Structures are given as structure tokens and as C-alpha cells.
Amino acid sequence: MNDSLANCMSKMLNAERANKQAVEISPVSVLIKKVLKLLKDNDYTGDAQEVQASQGIRLTLSLLGKINNCGAIKPRYAIKKEDFEKFEKRYLPAKSFGILILSTTNGLMTHQQAKEKGIGGRLIAYCY
């Protein structure tokens, strides 16, 4: 396993397609927790609860059935504030449908928040 974020997004998508109510995610990192918080804030997932297991911390994430597709973006493209439309066309199915998650100097945020603030960053993931 090389990319834990891509593994997490894949587990979420597979569980959504199988109509599961929850999915267990492990390993857990700070980046994964922040991405899941952004997905929760945008109403794609429910609450995530930490469970202490013998191998370490696991997250139990409740699913709402709202994810059509999601994934990690590799390589993590640097994106300027003028280039959002180009990457929206590449990763999202329609204008103002779904979110791109990017890492900025102000922390992780969606592309709409970055547009409002007028800053760029590096693409991390997408979800719609």
C-alpha cells in the first residue's frame, strides 16, 4: 500500500456502491481525518468515530449514500487561482457539481473556498 488516502477513498467508494451503512478505515493519518472532515462538512459522509484496535486507531465512517465517485489525485498538481476551471472540467462531471479538495498555505479546503479567498494550492482529492 503506497497511498493511504487513495486506499481510504477507494474503500469509501466500494462501500457506497455496495450500499453499506458504514466503512472501517485504517491506517489513519492527519490528512485522511481532514479530508473526511471536509467531506462531512459538504454533506457527502456522516460522522467518523475513532476506534482503538490492537493494530492502532481505526475510523468507523458512516455513509449517507451521496457519493457517486471520489478519489485521490496523483500526482498532486500545483494549481493557480486562474486554473480552477481546467481541473474542474477534468475531475468533476459538471460545473458547480462536486468538490475538489486542495492543500493551501491556509490548510485543506475545497476549490470553492479557495476561489473566494483567491489562493491556489495542490490538488489532493475530488468527490461528487
What confidence tens digit (pLDDT) does each residue in 96-112 have? 899 999 999 999 999 99
Helix (H) or strand (E) holding 3: none
Q: Which fold has domain 4-63?
A: Ribosomal Protein S8; Chain: A, domain 1 (3.30.1370)
Give 53's pLDDT tier (boundaries 50, 70, 90).
confident
The runs of H, that is alpha helices, within 55-104 are 84-91
Q: Which residues contact 58 (CB under 8 A, 6 or more apart)?
A: 24, 25, 26, 28, 50, 51
The whole-model pTM stands at 0.92
Q: Which fold has domain 73-127?
A: Dna Ligase; domain 1 (3.30.1490)
